C-alpha cells in the first residue's frame, strides 16, 4: 500500500489577476451571515476567491453547512483550533465531553463515521496560506505567528510553533511584541470588537457566534471590509440566498 502524500503545512497561491481575493473571519457555523456578505460584495465565483482564517465549526448552529464549504472550488481555509479539536476527538486524543465544553456540542448527534469523514477532510488543510509575492503578497493563518516570511515559507514548524499558530493569543493580548519581516497576515482566533492590526498581523474575528458579535469579511490588501450579525442576516432571510 502506498503511503499517503503528506499535506504541506504552508500552501502557496498565485496572485489573483482575474478577480478579487477576500478573507473571512472565524465562521463558527454562522453560514447565513456568510451568505449575506457574499451577496453584499457581489462575490463572483468565476474569478473571486474566499480565504478563511479557520474555525469553521463549533459554537454556531450551521456547522455541517460550514464544513460543506470545503467542497467549494473558490474556498480556501486554513486549519483552526476548533478543527484541530474535532480531529483530536476522532483520534481519541480529546473526549467528546471536553470538545462539547469548548463549542462542539453541535456534534452530539453526529455519528462517529461522519465525524471521521470530516476529520479526513480537515487534515488536508494547511496551517497557513501564502498568496502572491512581493508587494502583492499576503498570508492567512489562524491565531498568530512570530517570524518572518522566510520562516513561514519554510514550514517544518515545531510543535510549539504549531500550537501558537492554532491556539496562541500572546500578540493579540499584548504579551509579546510583533515580529518584523512578515507580510500583511490575516488572523482570527481572538475575538475583537472590530478589525485590529498589530504589526503586520490583522485580526478579523469579530465574534460572529456571539449575541453582540458580527462576521467580518475583508478584501485582501485593501481597507475595504464588511460586517453583519447573524440576527440581521436572518432578518432579511439570508438563509435563502444561494451560495456561489
Per-residue pLDDT at 117 exceeds 70: yes
Inform me whether the pLDDT recorded for 109 exceeds 60: yes
Residue 30: all three cell numbers together: 454562522
The pLDDT of residue 6 is 63
Backbone angles phi, psi at 129, to 5 degrees: -125, 140
Span 194-222, mean pLDDT? 97
Average pLDDT over residues 109-130: 96
Mean pLDDT confidence for 202-211? 96
10-236 maps to CATH 3.60.21.10: yes
Average pLDDT, integer, range 146-161: 96
pLDDT above 80: residue 2: no
Question: Position of cell 432578518?
Answer: 235
Q: Is the pLDDT of residue 5 over 70?
A: no
| Distances from the Cα of 170 to the Cα of 82, 99, 118, 145, 194, angstroms | 18, 23, 30, 10, 18
**Quick one: pLDDT band at residue 8, thresholds 50, 70, 90?**
confident
Mean pLDDT of 113-139: 97
pLDDT mean over 157-173: 97
Q: Can you tell me whether residue 26 is helix, strand or coil?
A: coil
The pTM assigned to this predicted structure is: 0.95
Q: Find the mean pLDDT for residues 205-234.
A: 97
pLDDT at 183: 98
> Does residue 126 register a pLDDT over 90?
yes
pLDDT at 1 over 50: no
Residue 83: CA count within 13 A, CB half-sphere? 33
pLDDT (mean) for 157-178: 96
Determine contact, residues 162/126, Cβ cutoff 8 Å.
no
In the chain, where the domains are located: 10-236
Interstrand relation of 196-198 and 21-24 (parallel, antiparallel or unpaired): unpaired
Arithmetic mean of pLDDT over the chain: 96
Quote the pLDDT of residue 7.
Answer: 72
C-alpha cell at 23: 478573507
What is the average per-residue pLDDT within 122-127?
97
Q: Tell whether the model's pLDDT for residue 243 goes beyond 70.
A: yes
Amino acid at each position: 500500500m502506498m503511503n499517503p502524500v503528506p499535506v504541506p503545512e504552508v500552501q502557496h497561491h498565485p496572485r489573483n489577476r482575474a478577480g478579487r481575493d477576500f478573507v473571512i473571519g472565524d465562521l463558527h457555523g454562522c453560514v447565513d451571515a456568510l451568505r449575506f456578505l457574499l451577496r453584499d460584495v457581489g462575490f463572483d465565483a468565476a474569478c473571486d476567491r474566499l480565504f478563511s482564517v479557520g474555525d469553521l465549526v463549533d459554537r454556531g448552529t450551521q456547522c455541517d453547512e460550514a464544513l460543506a464549504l470545503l467542497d467549494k472550488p473558490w474556498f480556501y481555509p486554513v486549519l483552526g483550533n476548533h478543527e484541530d479539536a474535532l480531529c483530536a476527538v476522532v483520534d481519541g486524543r480529546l473526549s467528546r465531553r471536553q470538545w462539547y465544553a469548548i463549542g462542539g456540542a453541535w456534534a452530539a448527534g453526529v455519528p462517529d463515521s461522519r465525524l471521521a469523514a470530516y476529520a479526513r477532510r480537515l487534515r488536508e488543510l494547511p496551517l497557513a496560506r501564502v498568496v502572491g509575492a512581493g508587494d502583492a503578497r499576503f498570508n492567512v493563518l489562524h491565531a498568530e505567528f512570530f517570524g518572518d516570511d522566510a520562516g513561514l515559507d519554510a514550514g517544518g514548524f515545531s510543535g510549539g510553533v504549531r500550537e501558537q499558530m492554532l491556539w496562541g493569543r500572546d500578540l493579540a493580548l499584548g504579551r509579546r511584541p510583533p515580529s518584523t519581516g512578515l507580510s500583511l497576515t490575516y488572523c482570527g482566533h481572538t475575538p475583537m470588537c472590530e478589525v485590529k492590526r498589530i504589526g503586520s498581523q490583522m485580526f478579523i474575528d469579530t465574534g460572529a457566534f456571539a449575541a453582540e458579535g458580527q462576521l467580518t469579511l475583508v478584501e485582501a490588501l485593501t481597507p475595504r471590509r464588511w460586517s453583519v450579525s447573524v440576527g440581521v442576516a436572518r432578518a432579511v432571510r439570508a438563509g435563502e440566498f444561494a451560495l456561489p
